[in-house]
Amino acid sequence: MTNTPNTSLYLVQEVHNFGGFFGGDTVTLTVVQRDTQAERTLTIDERAFTNVRDRHTIAAGMLLALALSGERVDRAELLGAASQAELRAALGMPQLAGPLAGPQILSYRCEECGLWVAGVPEAGQCRVCGAEVLKHKA
């Protein structure tokens, strides 16, 4: 999903509660839209998350790609987090299709974004900001 015409990137500023007023499977949080810096409060139903194993793992400092219909979040994808531990906790264990021929990259650190980003860099560039991602420092 990432950042497409129907989605926008939002950085989680604060998690207010889990479950909502009458219970349920939601998380309410304050987010800042990455490109406009506009702050808003959103409630996301757990079913809207495409890659998060449990809404209770959402934390401040996480970057979400959200597809909205007015105030309703139709789809939410976790793209990155402030720490690798938070990212791995939210994404859970990877589902492997079979034996691997070599190491598998699950995430990487982007110094430009200041985030651990889920997945593999695209052509050596960060999936979120497009900055060059170094494989290792000398």
| CATH at 58 | 2.40.50
Where does the pLDDT of residue 18 fall: very low under 50, low under 70, confident under 90, or very high at 90 and above? confident
Number of domains in the chain: 1
In this prediction, residues 70-95 reach a mean pLDDT of 94
Q: Say if 70 falls within a structural domain.
A: yes
pLDDT digits (tens, 9 = 90+) for 24-53: 799 999 999 999 999 999 999 999 999 999
CB atoms within 10 A of CB 57: 19
Q: Say if 135 falls within a structural domain.
A: no
Give the span between the Cα atoms of 82 and 137, in whole angstroms.
20
Structural domain range at position 36: 8-81
Average pLDDT in the chain: 89
Q: Say if 129 falls within a structural domain.
A: no
Is pLDDT above 70 for 20? no
Q: Say if 127 falls within a structural domain.
A: no
Q: Say if 20 falls within a structural domain.
A: yes
pLDDT digits (tens, 9 = 90+) for 53-66: 999 999 999 999 99
In this prediction, residues 2-26 reach a mean pLDDT of 81
Q: What is the pLDDT of residue 47?
A: 94
Q: Say if 52 falls within a structural domain.
A: yes
Q: Say if 3 falls within a structural domain.
A: no
- Percent of the chain whose predicted confidence (pLDDT) is above 70: 90
Q: Say if 28 falls within a structural domain.
A: yes
Half-sphere exposure of 112 (CA within 13 A, CB side): 10
In this prediction, residues 96-124 reach a mean pLDDT of 90
Give the span between the Cα atoms of 135 and 52, in whole angstroms.
26
Q: Which residues contact 129 (CB under 8 A, 6 or more apart)?
A: 110, 112, 113
Distances from the Cα of 47 to the Cαs of 9, 18, 29, in angstroms? 19, 14, 16
β-bridge partners, 41: 30
